[in-house]
């Protein structure tokens, strides 16, 4: 069986829960990494805990979105985190910030891959119109994919519904959140896909949170392995 790459979203502010997630998702049948977003990174002792994780792929999902100087300074403040493999910034930050983040990341750790986040999976066409966009999600994300390509991003984070047209533009890593097993509640996500469909449509890695960490984690991992066979 091919070793599919899965990032488990550690969406909690409790270190005890993260320890449980890591211990119960341990398997040799998948390439497992761990995604830490704002909730855990901002929590008491969360940053310190992340810094001590060893021999795991770490995806730091901060979605940086500010002026170039501020985002560069933010990257520099992560200099002590030697175990980070991926970091995200938002396409809305613009070309100059993207360039600045890539430059700063290379300086502190050339092994960190910079991922550009496109339109969030919680947003729909009506959502983006309300914040002033006149283009459809598809047209907007095409622009963002070209932005990632032209500025040297290592990867893109996008919804499963966008994979087919993004992979024609961007040849780097394409990581897909908003993944649910068939029958699972989509929650606050608007554009979701199941694991098998996402890989079939061109994703190189998935981010899975609720479908894995809610309920019996070991059973959920077994379910994922079975679905991907």
Give me the residue label for tokens 């993260």.
Answer: 18
| The pairing of beta strand 205-208 with beta strand 86-90 | unpaired
3-state secondary structure at position 174: strand
Q: Is 200 a catalytic residue?
A: no
CA nearest to 212, candidates 59, 57, 32, 69 = 32
Beta carbons within 8 Å of 48's beta carbon, 6+ residues apart? none
Residue showing tokens 């750790």: 109
Q: Is 43 exposed, middle or buried (0-12, 13-18, 19+ CB in 10 A)?
A: middle
Tell me which DSSP letter residue 216 carries.
-
What is the Cα gyration radius of the chain? 17
Query: Do residues 39 and 70 lie in contact, with contact meaning Cβ atoms separated by under 8 Å?
Result: no
Neighbours of 80 (CB within 10 A): 8
- Among the listed residues 105, 100, 69, the one whose alpha carbon sits nearest the alpha carbon of residue 87: 105
Which candidate in 35, 63, 113, 167 is catalytic?
A: 63
Q: Write out the catalytic residue numbers.
A: 63
């Amino acid at each position: 069986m091919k070793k599919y790459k899965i990032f488990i979203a550690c969406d909690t502010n409790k270190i005890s829960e993260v320890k449980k997630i890591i211990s119960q998702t341990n398997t040799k049948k998948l390439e497992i990494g761990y995604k830490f977003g704002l909730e855990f990174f901002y929590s008491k002792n969360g940053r310190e805990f992340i810094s001590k994780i060893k021999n795991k792929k770490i995806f730091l999902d901060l979605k940086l979105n500010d002026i170039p100087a501020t985002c560069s300074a933010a990257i520099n403040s992560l200099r002590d985190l030697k175990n980070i493999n991926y970091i995200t910034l938002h396409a809305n930050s613009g070309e100059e910030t993207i360039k600045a983040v890539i430059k700063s990341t290379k300086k502190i750790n050339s092994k960190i891959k910079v991922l550009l986040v496109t339109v969030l999976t919680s947003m729909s066409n009506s959502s983006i119109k309300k914040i002033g966009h006149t283009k459809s999600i598809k047209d907007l994300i095409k622009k963002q994919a070209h932005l990632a390509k032209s500025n040297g991003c290592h990867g893109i984070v996008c919804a499963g519904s966008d994979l087919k047209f993004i992979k024609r533009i961007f040849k780097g890593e394409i990581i897909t959140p908003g993944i649910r097993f068939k029958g699972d509640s989509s929650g606050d996500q608007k554009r979701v896909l199941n694991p098998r469909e996402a890989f079939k449509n061109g994703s190189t890695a998935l981010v899975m949170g609720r479908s894995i960490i809610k309920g019996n984690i070991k059973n959920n991992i077994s379910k994922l392995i079975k679905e991907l066979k």
